[in-house]
A and B are shown apart, each in its own frame.
Chain A
């Protein structure tokens, strides 16, 4: 029975006066309102449009929680009395076990729907048994089936309570992802998990051999796995997960086929979908439909896979591994991270080592990230440099330097951590949200990192003073910049997973990816220099010590060796799998841009305008405006220097001016990508390192990495085939009879000239990329000179350029595709006929 409990609102005094004080004005109202003109309203001055939007529309099922339907009127109240009576009847009935089994299957579906993210009020607690589980206490003593039902319900509630608590603590949920509203439902907070597990064990024994046993086992092992992972008892968790899987298989193969739930109406099993509609006045009821059997079982299967992966994580998971782990879990279709509450992952990570989002200051975690990163170490070379400096000075100088470090370096580092804290935390949290929200968060992150870069440069200058260095390496700036570039690439990638890019936008998309990954590759080069510099500095300092006469210093220095990883870190970095992965994708993007640019539709300048320029009336949404709006977030970030629409247009036109050269350049890019990807795919370990999964235990990481790399390699090969097919459309070289004059030298697009120091000026005369440049190993020289292109045959003395009629070229995305789909050329047969014709003509 609901009563008015909202103290914030003033009740009208309708309930206090006797009925006689109200008069019927129905007819009068009808008469008065019918005299109003259409479209006009009579409203109070205080009534605004926003109020109209907020009003709940009565008699609309989706908004009116209190709507009394025919169902509500004809079905019995599913209350405590009903539970007691029904349980009593089932216990006495020869078919009682069958009905209880059906009820438990229905309960499983409700639980699955909740874990999927739907509210408790619309899933689990629409079941009368769940609301009044204590009503089964007495009967459970004497009736095994009722005991099984009771124990399973309590196990379900306990698990649900754990998930709700976790979600609230982690704070990564959004209403659209997962509802944590518990409406004061009793989630058994004071009942120990161990007692509930004991109940489940006992109940399972009592119903052994029946269809109820696997269902009870499923709940039991799920609860145990959840709790064991949370306390880092991975061995017990792994055991529980194995048993959980076995129970799930039994339920799927043996129990479910024998159960008939009877359509969508589950009143018989105690479910009233509108049971809690009055609890959700603030948020209109959605009349949620519970999951079906097959999707629910599939979901549970994925859940066991998730837990199995989480259980295989090393005891101390490295911070650098967390983001790719979340990306892996969210992107792999067979796992389908989006199918489980994100906080389950958070729960594990929280419980794992409390390093991430627990009570430990996050700055400590950031420091750990820097120190333990598999990438070029950022702070450790700095620390080594300091050590080396200390080793070569006398005690007083050493003390002074230590004082400087404490006074100047430490505060700088603290500032760094505090500033980057938020970014890294947000970056990690973004991986745990739905893609749309993830994308918005990432955009904010890289814009903020762009602002942070200026501060990072100041910090580096200060550190240089303390460490008495000159010139590079600019550790922190490089770190910040690399982080930003990764976020920007991820931003585009997530947009692809949201399928927001239209086919005509793909050339621009690849254009930007090429640009960003080029910059990232250069940044890795710079990081290599950082590490090399640190190594050399330490080595030099140690050599200097050897020259000093003091035996004490020599003795001390003899024990001090540069950290082993620095010895080969420079060369290792250039062979670093991650570098290869970056360059492979860059090359893919470059190649695909060129192909799509040369075969695409002209960019009609008459349509649209840039930025706030008004569009030509009636002309619609032109490419320029689309380009600006689509990539606004990237351009707002500042660095690397954004590629404006003008630059894009110039490069597209340049590609089209020399189709043959463009195709050749595209082919070269794809060949480069092929080489990198083949090298990575040949070694599971390298593939895993490329995707930052190398530090994770378990074959799943390596298998997944190989799968991803191989998938991109297959895409690359298919695209290479497409380029070859397109080559047939190019005009044939001129024959001696038709050749009139030496052909002009055609320049290929000169965009992708990576590895040149000081940046490269593009077609628009703008400097591209960061100022650091880089050594670029093996990057293709895209500037190709002196293409021989024969003029088209038989065109006459004006030597007009023949129009190449390209076939339709599209990008085909598969289920495993990321932002790179495979190029597909349509209608190749037409080309062959043309070729035959031309050959005949020539003959």
Chain B
């Protein structure tokens, strides 16, 4: 899903600032992400919120342990400092990426 226009949220007032303007990040909202954290677990859920520090709030999340066990954990907040890898569904991510080089883990990309 690619959002072409975002209505600034009515509350809170802070959201009417620069972040209210549509950014590529907005297009990632409500998309399924797979988030890998430092202890080896993976959290798969829909992105609800993020910020400058890459803190991610995911809803309808499933926790997958290194052993393969799955557990439904609903709403979680994954601190950015514990992220090792973030993946998105290709169908949602590809339109956001300007350059195919973005797909490579080590490649850099600018705005």
Contact = CB atoms under 8 A, between A and B. Distances in A.
B45 to A, nearest CB: 6
B49 A9 contact: no
Residue of B25, B38, B65, B80 with most partner-chain A CB within 10 A: B25
A743 interface: no
Contacts of B32: 12-14
A473 to B, nearest CB: 62
Interface string B46-78: 111111111001011011011001111111111
Contacts of A49: 12
Contacts of B78: 58-59
Contacts of B73: 56, 66, 281
Contact size range, B: 35 or more
Contacts of A39: 14, 52
A58 B76 contact: yes
A24 B103 contact: yes
B72 A33 contact: no
Interface stretch (A15-23, A322-330, A434-442, A448-456): A15-23
A12 B62 contact: yes
A54 B91 CA distance: 30
A44 B48 contact: yes
B107 interface: yes
Nearest to A30: B54
A3 B9 CA distance: 37
Contacts of B26: 42
Contact of B82 (A10, A11, A59): A59
A67 interface: yes
A527 B74 CA distance: 61
B90 A21 contact: yes
A682 B24 CA distance: 85
Contacts of B41: 66, 68
Contacts of B70: 2-4, 15
A395 interface: no
Contacts of A44: 29-30, 47-49
Nearest to A35: B111
A28 B40 contact: no
Interface string A31-51: 111111111111111110101
B38 A40 contact: no
A800 interface: no
A314 to B, nearest CB: 53
Interface in A280-297: 281
Interface in A67-126: 67-69
Residue of A55, A59, A281 with most partner-chain B CB within 10 A: A55
B77 A4 contact: no
Contacts of A38: 52
A26 interface: yes
A29 interface: yes
A541 B83 CA distance: 91
Given A27-B108, A57-B79, A22 B52 contact: no
A31 B97 CA distance: 12
A499 interface: no
Contact of A42 (B12, B51, B79): B51
Nearest to A282: B74
B53 A55 contact: no
A12 B87 contact: no
A27 B17 CA distance: 25
Given A32-B25, A33-B25, A40 B14 contact: yes
A6 interface: yes
B96 to A, nearest CB: 7
Given A36-B19, A58-B79, A47 B48 contact: yes
Contacts of A41: 15, 19, 49-51
Contact of B74 (A9, A33, A34): A9
A191 interface: no
A16 to B, nearest CB: 11
B89 interface: yes
A8 to B, nearest CB: 9
A12 B45 contact: yes
B75 to A, nearest CB: 4
Contacts of B72: 4-6, 9, 11, 281
B94 A15 contact: no
Contact of B87 (A4, A24, A37, A58): A24
A42 B77 contact: no
A278 B89 contact: no
Given A4-B62, A25-B88, A59 B51 contact: no
A68 B19 contact: no
B9 A45 contact: yes
A68 B53 CA distance: 23
Given A15-B44, A26-B86, A47-B48, A40 B18 contact: yes
Contacts of B50: 29, 33, 41-43
Contacts of A36: 19, 23, 25, 51-52
A35 B23 CA distance: 10
A655 to B, nearest CB: 53
A1 interface: yes
Contacts of A839: none
A52 interface: yes
Contact of B111 (A5, A31, A278): A31
Contacts of B76: 55-58
Sorted nearest first, the 4 A-B pairs with minimum C-beta distance are A14-B44, A40-B19, A43-B49, A22-B87
18 contacts: A9-B60, A12-B45, A12-B62, A21-B89, A26-B83, A28-B93, A28-B102, A28-B109, A33-B80, A37-B19, A42-B26, A42-B29, A47-B48, A55-B75, A55-B76, A58-B37, A59-B78, A281-B74
Given A2-B70, A32-B24, 7 more contacts: A3-B71, A31-B109, A37-B19, A40-B18, A52-B49, A58-B77, A59-B37
